[in-house]
Amino acid sequence: MVKRAITTIALLSIVLLLPPVEASSQDADRIIEKSNLASYYAADDGKAKARMEIKDRRGRTRVRELVMLRKDIEDGGRQNFYIYFTAPTDIKGMVFMVKKFPQRDDDRWLYIPAVDLIKRIVARDKRLSFAGSHFTYEDVSGRSPQDDTHTFLREERLGDKDTYVIKNTPKDKDEVEFSYYIVWIDKKTYLPLKAEYYDKKGRLYKVLKAEKIETIEGIPTAVRIKAEEVGGGTTVVEFTDIRYNLGIPNSIFTERYLRKVPRRWIR
C-alpha cells in the first residue's frame, strides 16, 4: 500500500515536472520550421551538382546526374527549382522546372529536347519517386511544415550530435503513403540528420540519413544523403560544386531556359 502510494506520488511529480504538452508541440512546430529553412531555404539561392546512385535489392546500380538551381522568392514560402539532367544518355538534356507555391499546387514542367516538347506535369503525387530513386519529389523540394502536426518526443544524442526527435503525423492521411515519420534534427544546425518513415501498419519501411555534412560558405550543408528501403534498395546522393548566393535571376525559371540551358549558372 505504502509502496503503491510512493509510486503514485513519484509518477505524479514526474508528470508535474514535465513541461506542458502544449509548449512542446509549439516547440516542435518551431524546430520543424527552422529545420525546413535550414534544409531547403539556405541563403537566397543555391546551385549544386548531384550524383544519385540507385541500387536495387539485388545490387544492380543505376546512376543519375543532374545540376540543380534553386531560388527563394520568400523564406519558407515560394521557391523556384531548375533541374538539368546530364546522365545517363536517355535523359541527358532533359530539364525539370518547378515553381513551388505553399498555398496551392506547384507548377511543374518537363522539357524533352529530342522532340522539342514542353510537358506540363501534374503536381500532386509528391510522394512518388524522383527520377527512379528512393527519394520522393518532396525529399528534393521539401515537405510543407503545414502538412503535418508535429510532436516533440525527446532529445537524443545521435552519433556525435545532440538532436531533437520529432514525430510528424500527416493532416491528410490519404495524400501520403506513411502514417507518420520521426526526424532527428541537429540542435546546432537544425539540419535533419535522420528520418524514419512508418507505413500504415506502423512498420518502419524507409530511413533517410544525412551521412556527411560540410560547412560551405558558412552554411552547414548535407553533402551526402542516403535513402534506404527496409529490406530493399538504397539511393545515395552526393552533392558537389555547391554554391550559395550566386544572384540567380528569376528569369531563369521560365520557358526560355527550358530550351536554352543557362550555362552561366549550370556549368
- Contact residues for other proteins (CB under 8 A)? 54, 56, 60, 62-63, 87-90, 92, 105, 107, 114-117, 120-125, 128-129, 131-134, 233, 251, 254-256, 259-260, 263-264, 267
Cα–Cα distances (Å) from 186 to 4, 28, 40, 91, in that order, read 40, 13, 15, 36
Which CB, 180 or 257, lies closer to other proteins? Answer: 257
Least Cβ distance, residue 47 to other proteins (angstroms): 16
The alpha-carbon radius of gyration of the chain (Å, integer) is 21
Which CB, 33 or 229, lies closer to other proteins? Answer: 229
Least Cβ distance, residue 36 to other proteins (angstroms): 24
Least Cβ distance, residue 116 to other proteins (angstroms): 4
Q: Please, are residues 187 and 198 in contact by the beta-carbon 8 Å criterion?
A: no
Structure-block grid coordinates of residue 74: 520568400
Which CB, 89 or 215, lies closer to other proteins? Answer: 89
What does residue 199 show for φ and ψ, rounded to 5 degrees? -80, -175
* Strand extents, DSSP E, 138-191: 148-158, 161-170, 180-186
Least Cβ distance, residue 202 to other proteins (angstroms): 25
Planar angle of CA 171, 175, 178, nearest 5 degrees: 80
DSSP reduced 3-state for 110: strand
Least Cβ distance, residue 124 to other proteins (angstroms): 5
Which CB, 18 or 87, lies closer to other proteins? Answer: 87
Which CB, 77 or 88, lies closer to other proteins? Answer: 88
